[in-house]
């Protein structure tokens, strides 16, 4: 007997494919499928360590400073930051990895591994490429220009379901208004806004930073951005557990009062990561130093490339402190 495929809204389908039993993130090592800034270069952890020092200063060196890595992967960023933190600060530092995947073997025992962000802590909360993996609904306008929810089967076949209603419709109208042309798509970012607000709400003081591929209201992509990543390649999104499923962040809808958005390029420049080549005369004076500086320049160029990682948005949400950020913003 032939069984009919089960269609789900994209939010439920993503949830199951990424985090359900046998889901992609519980099974796979993310670095085997895509490269984040954390994997691209140790300069990224160095920049986050510098940012942590700024936050510590702004908080007047509290007795306990939290570093919360939200969507910590295998703990690579925390490991890198700990290796670059001076003993005086490390002694006051409480590093938390917040992850749905299990704790990897051999991780630094100072890192507390947990499923939910801690509440009431002061310090830096950093979420690199977390929000783009928070499941969300997809809407598409039908022949009559009505936005409808998109449902998907495990093999990736899609169909249109009922009209978008309620809080989802209000979110669309405010943040991603559709012009009514048949086939336009939008990704309804409400679950991300709520997830981010809850994460920021856990900080009693300090800075929360979300870093992601993102877009603003004036420039939403007409066909949406939902994509699959498998073994280093972008592929059509299929919710079968075999691939990462990601959609860019509507960073303006996530930003609460007092938030600011910079490009990663501007943020990293402000934190001292620049792609300048070393002077040639260094090559004869200190050949090994020249090669190191050349490697760093190449990695910094990748992290700050406006057409790649440098075009990511850094959504900066201060909580009760004033942290000065030089540099241009995205808006
Ligand atoms: C794209 S990976 C990024 C990993 C790491 N931050 C990096 O930049 O390399 C996203 C991670 O977020 C985790 N994640 C997704 N939703 C989560 C949630 N609600 N709580 C904790 N971790 C979550 C996933 O399991 C996955 O490891």
Strand partners, 149: 139
Pairing of strands 158-163, 147-152: antiparallel
Residue 1's pLDDT band, with cuts at 50, 70 and 90, is low
Which residue's CA is the closest to the ligand 1 atom numbered 5?
73
Which residue among 130, 191, 196, 202 is best mutated to probe the pocket of ligand 1, counting the most ligand atoms within 8 A of its Cβ?
A: 130
Mean pLDDT of the chain: 94
- How many whole angstroms from 132 Cα to the centroid of ligand 1? 9
Cβ of residue 71 lying under 6 Å from some atom of ligand 1 = yes
Residue 304's pLDDT band, with cuts at 50, 70 and 90, is very high
Q: What is the pLDDT of residues 5-40, one digit of tens each?
A: 899 999 999 999 999 998 999 887 777 778 899 999
Ligand 1 atom closest to residue 116's alpha carbon, by position in its atom list? 20
Mean pLDDT (whole number) for 149-170: 98
pLDDT at residue 184 in the model: 97
Residue 331's pLDDT band, with cuts at 50, 70 and 90, is very low
Cβ of residue 18 lying under 6 Å from some atom of ligand 1 = no
Cβ of residue 312 lying under 6 Å from some atom of ligand 1 = no
| CA dist list (Å): 37 to 46, 52, 303 | 12, 17, 6
Q: What is the pLDDT of residues 107-154, one digit of tens each?
A: 999 999 999 999 999 999 999 999 999 999 999 999 999 999 999 999
Rounded Cα–Cα distance for residues 267 and 255 (Å): 16
> Do the beta carbons of residue 147 and residue 166 sit within 8 Å?
no
Cβ of residue 73 lying under 6 Å from some atom of ligand 1 = yes
- How many whole angstroms from 60 Cα to the centroid of ligand 1? 30
What percent of the chain shows pLDDT beyond 70?
Answer: 98
What percent of the chain shows pLDDT beyond 90?
Answer: 86
Rounded Cα–Cα distance for residues 65 and 95 (Å): 8
- How many whole angstroms from 23 Cα to the centroid of ligand 1? 13
- How many whole angstroms from 88 Cα to the centroid of ligand 1? 29
DSSP at 276: P
Tokens matching residue 101: 């995947």
Cβ of residue 25 lying under 6 Å from some atom of ligand 1 = yes
- How many whole angstroms from 174 Cα to the centroid of ligand 1? 27
pLDDT at residue 27 in the model: 82
- How many whole angstroms from 30 Cα to the centroid of ligand 1? 9
Quote the crossing angle between the two packed helices 76-83 and 42-58, to the nearest 10°.
70
Cβ of residue 114 lying under 6 Å from some atom of ligand 1 = no
Phi-psi region of 258 (alpha: psi -120 to 50; beta: other; left: phi over 0): left
pLDDT at residue 115 in the model: 96
Mean pLDDT (whole number) for 256-272: 94
- How many whole angstroms from 72 Cα to the centroid of ligand 1? 5
Cβ of residue 126 lying under 6 Å from some atom of ligand 1 = no
Evaluate if residue 95 carries a pLDDT over 60.
yes
Mean pLDDT (whole number) for 262-280: 92
pTM: 0.95
Which residue's CA is the closest to the ligand 1 atom numbered 8?
128
């Amino acid at each position: 007997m032939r069984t009919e495929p089960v269609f789900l809204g994209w939010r439920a389908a993503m949830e199951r494919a990424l985090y359900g039993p046998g889901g992609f993130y519980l099974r796979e090592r993310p670095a085997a499928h895509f490269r984040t800034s954390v994997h691209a270069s140790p300069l990224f952890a160095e920049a986050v360590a510098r940012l942590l020092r700024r936050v510590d200063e702004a908080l007047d060196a509290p007795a306990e400073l939290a570093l919360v890595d939200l969507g910590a992967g295998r703990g690579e960023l925390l490991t890198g930051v700990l290796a670059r933190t001076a003993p005086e600060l490390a002694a006051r530092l409480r590093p938390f990895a917040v992850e749905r995947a299990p704790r990897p073997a051999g991780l630094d025992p100072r890192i507390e591994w947990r499923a939910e962000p801690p509440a009431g802590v002061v310090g830096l909360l950093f979420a690199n490429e977390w929000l783009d993996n928070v499941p969300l609904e997809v809407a598409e306008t039908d022949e009559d220009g009505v936005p409808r929810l998109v449902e998907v089967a495990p093999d990736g076949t899609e169909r249109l379901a009922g009209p978008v209603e309620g809080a989802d419709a209000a979110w669309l109208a405010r943040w991603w208004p559709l012009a009514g042309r048949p086939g336009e798509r939008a990704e309804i970012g409400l679950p991300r806004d709520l997830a981010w607000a809850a994460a920021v709400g856990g900080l009693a003081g300090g800075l929360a930073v979300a870093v992601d591929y993102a877009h603003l209201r004036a420039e939403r992509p007409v066909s949406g951005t939902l994509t699959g990543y498998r073994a280093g390649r972008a592929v059509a999104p299929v919710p079968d557990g075999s691939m990462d499923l990601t959609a860019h962040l509507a960073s303006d809808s996530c930003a609460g009062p007092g938030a600011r958005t910079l490009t990663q390029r501007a943020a990293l420049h402000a934190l001292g990561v620049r792609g300048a080549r070393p002077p040639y005369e260094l090559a004869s004076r200190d050949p090994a130093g020249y090669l190191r500086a050349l490697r760093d320049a190449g990695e910094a160029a990748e992290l700050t490339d406006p057409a790649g990682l440098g075009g990511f948005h850094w959504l900066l949400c201060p909580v009760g402190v004033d942290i000065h950020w030089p540099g241009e913003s995205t808006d």
